[in-house]
Amino acid sequence: MAVQLALIGLISFTVTSGERLSVSGNHFLFKGEKVFLSGGNLPWIHYGYDFGNNQWSSVKSQVASQMKMLKDAGGNSLRLWVHIQAESTPQFDTNGYVIATDRQGTFIGDFKDMLNLAQSYDILVIPTLWNAAVDQDRSHRLDGIIVDSRKLQSYIRVVLTPLVREVKGHPALAAWDIINEPEGMLKVGEYNADPCFDTVKLRNSGAGWAGKKYSYQQLLRFISWQADAIKQEDPEALVTVGVWNPKSNTDRFNMADHYSDNCLKKAGQKSLHNWADYGTNKPIVVGEFWKEAGGGMTTNQLFDYVYRHGYSGAWSWDLVGKGADQRGGISHINNYIGNGKIHIDL
């Protein structure tokens, strides 16, 4: 299961409004108080078909139900997926360039309505734009914007920048998660003199399970260009990436932190804007976990462990498929305060 690690490009970040989620050292602040993000992955109702093309209206009530149950359990945040592998959004031309948010023009409105819904339940949302954990990109749309910088720029210009402009400052928007588990499609075992791009240490690690398609230069450029575009439009925004395992996100244990600001800047040639075991100075959220792979621990014990061991958040997998059990874990830590408050009012 993935581990959500290390928000990127945030070291020099300053909040002026005080009403948005922000970063202070290796923890989160909300309205001036340290908070712990407790919740789960929604992550979709219909995989790749929840937003745009008038699709949101058919799933809104189910999302609302999940948000209400999460709030009632004492949770404060959730992670949900947006484009995934471009199954229905954005809209491409025959050459693989992005030409519209979606065919029917509802995508941005759908996204805004989802945030408004989350605000009504005091839920912070972390939208995950893309997914590399499963390869069903038969049309090569996601593939195109990863390998071709011109196609990536078409997505940024036509979709990402207008979307960020429309929703920046929204109280329910916690952070942008660029891609889930990019290591799923990573080429492993490739030597590079630069540790940022070398994947020899990841040989036999399990990375590349969805197809060894992309170098770290390509994946990090893909991430850094989108992070930079978000920051250009909304300098206060938080941006993260959902890595699969700490093996790719720490300089400890004879590994390399491929997602450091330094590596992202090298790969993207973008300036960006600028816990302890992993050697990072940014918040760490355990972004996917469940008791089936929890080392014999119950869901309550897993939530308890994450809260009490210095992490900044816990999002179980997943609220739709295993919600009852996971909401029990969320309720279990509802009143904890030692590592940040959980109850928030948007």
Catalytic pick among 19, 33, 233, 288: 288
Q: How many CB atoms lie within 10 A of CB 102?
A: 20
Counted residue by residue, the chain has a size of 346
Q: Could you give the angle at which helices 56-72 and 107-120 cross, rounded to 10 degrees?
A: 20
pLDDT of residue 79: 97
pLDDT of residue 17: 45
Residue type, 196: C
pLDDT of residue 13: 27
Instruction: Confirm whether 343 is domain-assigned.
Output: no
Catalytic pick among 19, 87, 181, 292: 181
Residue 166 designated active-site: no
Give the CATH number of the domain where residue 135 resides. 3.20.20.80
* Spans of the chain, pLDDT less than 70: 1-18, 247, 249-255, 271-280
Kindly report, residue by residue over 198-234, the tens digit of the pLDDT.
999 999 999 999 999 999 999 999 999 999 999 999 9
**Could you give the 3-state DSSP secondary structure of residue 339?**
coil
Q: Strand order of the sheet with strand 27-30?
A: 22-24, 27-30, 33-35
User: pTM surpassing 0.95?
Assistant: no
Instruction: Confirm whether 337 is domain-assigned.
Output: no
pLDDT of residue 89: 98
**Which DSSP string corresponds to 185-234?**
GB--S---SSTTT--GGGTTSSTTTT---B-HHHHHHHHHHHHHHHHHH-
Instruction: Confirm whether 125 is domain-assigned.
Output: yes
Burial (0-12, 13-18, 19+ Cβ within 10 Å), 251: middle
Tell whether the torsion through CA atoms of 39, 40, 45 and 49 is positive or negative: positive
Kindly report, residue by residue over 185-204, the tens digit of the pLDDT.
999 999 999 989 999 999 99
Number of domains the chain is built from: 1
Query: The tokens 């330094």 sit on which residue?
Result: 262
Residue 288 designated active-site: yes
pLDDT of residue 296: 92
pLDDT of residue 273: 52
Q: Rounded to an integer, what distance in angstroms lies between the CA atom of residue 333 and that of residue 211?
A: 38
Which is it for strands 33-35 and 27-30: parallel, antiparallel or unpaired?
A: antiparallel
**Which residues form the domain of 312?**
5-332
Q: Give the CA angle between residues 97, 157, 107 to the nearest 5°.
A: 85
**Could you give the 3-state DSSP secondary structure of residue 325?**
helix
**Could you give the 3-state DSSP secondary structure of residue 2?**
coil
